[in-house]
Structure 1
Amino acid sequence: MTRIGKLKTADNLQLRGIQVPLICSLCSGHLENHSHLFFDCDLTFYILKNILLDFTSFLLRPTLPQALDFIENSVFLSRSEKEFCYLAISCISYHIWREMNNRRFSNSRNNVAKVICNISSVVRLKTAKWKNKTTLF
């Protein structure tokens, strides 16, 4: 759902006749749509760069499909490193979605450091039994 842009972001909800604020709940500075949420938003791009350091070299912010293609086509990453990156992207996407919903619907918010810490913890737990896990962090 995330890769094909079918998540119920503000723009998709508006198309379905559901009235919600169109402003991004994470940055409050842009219209919320799929490409903004993953990873055009200042907050989400910051999270991506802090979890996956290879993305600090991007001059322009990637969309989610571009980020996945970058990982797949990288000649510098081994298969296990690519799997790690895919897992990290999945966790990042889930936690961004969760944070956006928490801010919009329950009026609670974590700061960006807490979101990064939560994502890092989940990734560590999910890779705890992987061979070569120490080379991935």
Structure 2
Amino acid sequence: MSAWFDYWNDLGPLGDFLLPRTITDADFRLDDPVAKIFYNGVWNWPVAWRDLFPVLIQLDHLHLEPSKPDRLLWKDDGEINEFSSSAVWHSVRHREPEVDWCSFVWFAQCIPRHAFMMWLIMKGKLLTQDKILQWDLSRRKNMNMMCCLLCYENFDSHSHLFFKCKFSSQVWLMVRNRVGMSFVCPRWVDIVDWLRVRARSKKAHVYVAMILVAATAYSIWQERNARLFENQLRPPKTVSDIILKTVRYKLMGAKLKNTDRVRKLLGEWEITKESENDGG
């Protein structure tokens, strides 16, 4: 245990008021243990220190316990607690206020790659054509050659792809009825508003809706990239079928409460107890 920098007394680390130069001038080392300065009930520091640092007098009644094990402590904003990697991380990490969409992007039993895609969309971080045109001024002369590869109108952007695009809006209209979102327009802001109100709900149908929205956004972006890089084109019906199949497979393995309402919900997705076991 460090004599100068550990919390082994009520005064705190002696290094808080003893400068390193003061310590070394007294023929001590900065890495000395407590046993170096306190031995057989006697303090081994210079007598003059008691006049220079009267606070040391308070240590006269200190009874050290040599057999007591060392403890790792962590000081954060003046508060001393037991050391843990979690406490250190929360102490040193950059913090920002929690966003109101966090609970429907990162939620229990989500599909991780879909959640990551949702996070990118909410942050506006996808590399869409409108951003490319802003970054590369040399391409401005070719703006008329760029267009959304899903509908071949405009150039793609976050708001266009999700879901103002004729292709993606068709996909959304095909899947939204399965999760009680039949009146939610194919606009990202409307979909987000619907989710935001219900995001902290524990109801199974809300969980399914969050899974479906994330799967839809992921599939639209995948279709866009498949057309851009692989020249593969699929119609809206095929993409919507893939989305519904993805949601169904996820529900087959999800851990949901065994209630009448949940069983009815699973039945609507053609999931029986037998098929649920097959998928688990």
Residue 172 of structure 2 is aligned to residue 48 of structure 1: yes
So what's the TM-score if we normalise by structure 1?
0.83
The alignment of Structure 1 onto Structure 2 pairs a total of residues equal to: 133
Q: Distance in 2 between matches of 1:135 and 1:69?
A: 28
Q: Which of 161, 176, 187 is 1:62 aligned to? A: 187
Q: Distance in 2 between matches of 1:23 and 1:135?
A: 41
Name the counterpart of 1:134. 266
Larger radius of gyration: 2
Residue 238 of structure 2 is aligned to residue 114 of structure 1: yes
TM-superposition CA deviations, 1:19-78 (whole Å, max 9, x none): 5853111011222111000011111112112111144424x5422x4302213326xx87
Name the counterpart of 1:38. 162
User: Which structure has more strand as a fraction of its residues?
Assistant: 2
Q: Distance in 2 between matches of 1:78 and 1:32?
A: 35
Does the Cα contact within 8 Å between 1:24 and 1:31 map onto a contact in 2?
A: yes
Deviation at 1:136, TM superposition (A): 5.7
- Shift of the 136–69 alpha-carbon distance from structure 1 to 2, 3 Å rule, reads farther
User: Which structure has more helix as a fraction of its residues?
Assistant: 1
Deviation at 1:79, TM superposition (A): 2.3
Partner SS state of residue 121, structure 2: coil
So what's the TM-score if we normalise by structure 2?
0.43
Name the counterpart of 2:32. none
Q: Which of 110, 125, 128 is 1:9 aligned to? A: 128
Residue 146 of structure 2 is aligned to residue 22 of structure 1: yes
Partner SS state of residue 108, structure 1: coil
Does the Cα contact within 8 Å between 1:50 and 1:116 map onto a contact in 2?
A: yes
Does the Cα contact within 8 Å between 2:173 and 2:186 map onto a contact in 1?
A: no
Structure 1 runs not aligned, ≥5 long: none
Deviation at 1:15, TM superposition (A): 2.2
- Shift of the 57–66 alpha-carbon distance from structure 1 to 2, 3 Å rule, reads closer
Structure 1, 38-47 or 94-103: larger mean CA deviation: 38-47
Structure 2 runs not aligned, ≥5 long: 1-119, 257-261, 270-280
Q: Distance in 2 between matches of 1:56 and 1:26?
A: 23
Identity %: 22
Higher relative contact order (CA 8 A, sep 6+): 1
